[in-house]
Amino acid sequence: MNSAEILRTVDAIHRDKNIDKEIVFEGIEAALVTAAKKHYGEEAEIEIEIDRADGTISGTVDGQPLDPEEAVGRIGAQTAKQVMIQKIREAERDALCEEYEAIIGQLVTGVVQRYEGGMAIVNLSNTEAILPRNEQIPGETHHTNERIRATICDVRKEKSRVKIVMSRTRPQFVQRLFEQEIPEIVDGVIQVRALAREPGYRSKVSVSSADQRVDCVGACVGVRGNRIKNIVDELAGERIDIVRWNDDLQVLIPNALQPAEVEEVILCHMLGRAIVLVREDQLSLAIGRRGQNVRLASKLCGWDIEIMTREELGDQIERAVAGFSEIEGLEESVADRLVAEGFLSYDDLSVIEPDALMEIGGLSAEEVDTIVTEAERRAEEAERAAAEQRRRQREEEQRAAEAAALAQQAEAAESESGSTDEASDSVTTEDTEAAAADDGSEEEVASSEDAAEPTSSTAETDGERNGPNTVADSAADVSLPTQEEQSGDLEHRPENSA
C-alpha cells in the first residue's frame, strides 16, 4: 500500500461515510499494528505512524526500525483489511449516533417502509428508524410508502448498529409543528411558554407575544383557522386549546380552564395547590371528560388544581376545622390558620413541613411530631374507610348488573316461551280447523250417500209395485181442464196480462 493510495482511501471514506479523516488514519494504523503482531508476536512493542500530509508509513518494533510492507505480508494484509473494515464500521456508527443525538427532540421526515408487529420501520435519509406502537397517536394508521413526520426521542448504540426511536406522542412534537406552521414563533415574536398533552385526545398550548401589536392567539389560529387546521390534521384530529400566557396565576389558571367560567381562584402556596370555585352548572365543564380539562390545566400551570363549588368548599372547611380540633395538642385557632393555608384533610396535614407547623402554631418539635403522627394515622384510617366504601359500591354495582342481566334473561325467556305458545296455539287451531273440515266433508259425503240410497230404494219399490205401467197410470191420474173451465179462467184473467 503506497502513500498515494492511502491518502485516496482516507479521502474517499471521509466523503462517503462522513467520518473524520483522523479517525480513518487511526483505524489504518491500528490495523497495521495488529497485522505486524501476527508476524513478530503479541509481546512485541510495535508502533506505526502514517504521515497525514504525504501518507508515508513509518514504524518501530522493540525500538528497531520496521518495514511495514515486509512485516505485514499476505496474511497480515488480510488481517489489516478486516481490522480496518471493522474500525471504519465502528467509526461510521459513532458518526451516525452523534449526528442523531444532536437532533433529539427535533422534527424529521421519513417514509414508512414496513410494519413489524405494530412497530413501523421508517426510512430516513441515511439510516432506518423505528416508530413503536406506544409512540404512535392512538387510533392513527400509516401505510407503506407514506411520508410521516415525527421527533427523535432516543438514540442508542446496539452492537454494530444505531437504534433510532421516533415519537409522535411527546409534547415536543406539537411544539415543533407549531414552529413549522407559525413563522412568528421562529422569528421570536411569539413564544410557546408551556404545553400539556394527552395524545390523540387534547392538548393545551400556552403562548405569549413579545410585541403588543401581535395577537399571539390569533396568529396561532391563522386566517379562517388555516394554521391550526394543518396542525390538527397532522395530529389525527386531536383537539388543541391555545391559552394566553400570564405570569399571574390568578389570570393564567382561569385561562387554562377555558371554556369553563371561573368565579374565584384561591392559591395555597404551602401546598402548591389552587382551589378554583365555579358555579354548579360549570362544574362538569371545568373538570372535563374524565377529568381531562383540569388535568391538562394543572400540567400547564404547574399547580395542583382542585375544582369545587362554594358550598362544597364551606362543607370541607367545617369538616377540616372539626377534625383538626380533635387532634390532641392542636388548638382551634391553629386549625383555623391551617385551613386558611389550604390544609383541608389529614393527608394535607401529614405532609406539612415541621418548621411551617411550628411557625403557624408556635409549637415545639415534640408537639409537631405528635400532631403529624396522629394526622398520618387518621389519614390511613380515612383511606381504609374510603377503600371499603369503594369496594362496597363496586359490589353493589356488580350485584345490580347481575340482577339486570338475570331480569333481561328472564324477560327474553318469557318472550321466547310466549312466542312458542303462540306458535303452538296457531298450529293447534290449524289442526282443529283442518280436522273439522275433514269431518264436515265426510259428513257431507255420508249424508249425500244416505240421501241417495232411500231414493233409489223407493224407486225400486215403486217400480216393483207398479211394474211397467207406472208412467201411464200416473199420466192417467192427471185430469185435464174442460172447455168451460178454460173459458172461465179467461174471463177472470186481468186485461193487461199477457
Q: ω before 259 within 30° of 0 (cis)? A: yes
Sheet arrangement for strand 273-277? 264-268, 273-277, 304-308
| Cβ–Cβ under 8 Å, residues 169 and 155 | no
Fold of the domain built from segment(s) 312-388: DNA polymerase; domain 1 (1.10.150)
pLDDT for position 382: 82
- Per domain, the residue ranges of the chain are 3-100, 103-167, 170-245, 312-388
Task: Name the one residue in this structure whose C-alpha cell is 515486509.
Answer: 70
CA angle 466, 471, 476 (to 5 degrees): 105
Q: What is the pTM of this model?
A: 0.66
CB atoms within 10 A of CB 4: 10
CATH topology of domain 3-100: N Utilization Substance Protein A; Chain:P; domain 4 (3.30.1480)
Q: What is the pLDDT of residue 298?
A: 94
Task: Collapse the DSSP code of 211 into the 3-class scheme (helix H, G, I; strand E, B; otherwise coil) and give the result.
Answer: coil
Cα 478 to its chain centre, rounded Å, is 112
What are the Cα distances from residue 184, in Å, to 215, 359, 405?
A: 11, 49, 59
For residue 403, what are the contacts with CB-CB under 8 A and spacing of at least 6? none
The residue to which cell 497495521 is assigned: 32
Q: What is the CATH number of domain 170-245?
A: 3.30.300.20
Cell of 13: 471514506
DSSP 146: -
- Residues with Cβ within 8 Å of residue 7, at least 6 apart in sequence: 54, 55
- Rounded Cα distance between 308 and 344, Å, is 13
- CATH code for the structural domain at 103-167: 2.40.50.140
| Pairing mode, strands 161-167 and 147-158 | antiparallel
CA 415 from centroid of its chain's CA atoms: 40
How would you write the pLDDT of the chain (498 residues) with one tens digit per residue? 566 777 887 888 778 777 788 888 888 788 778 777 777 777 778 888 888 888 777 778 777 777 666 555 554 566 666 777 777 788 888 888 888 999 999 999 999 999 988 899 999 988 899 999 999 999 888 889 999 999 999 999 887 788 999 999 999 999 999 999 999 999 999 999 999 999 999 999 999 999 889 999 999 998 889 999 999 999 989 999 999 999 999 999 999 998 899 999 999 888 888 999 999 999 999 999 889 999 999 999 999 999 999 999 999 888 888 888 888 777 888 888 888 888 888 888 877 887 877 877 777 788 888 888 888 888 888 888 888 888 999 999 999 999 998 988 888 888 877 666 565 555 555 555 555 555 555 444 444 444 444 433 333 434 433 444 433 343 333 344 444 444 444 334 444 332
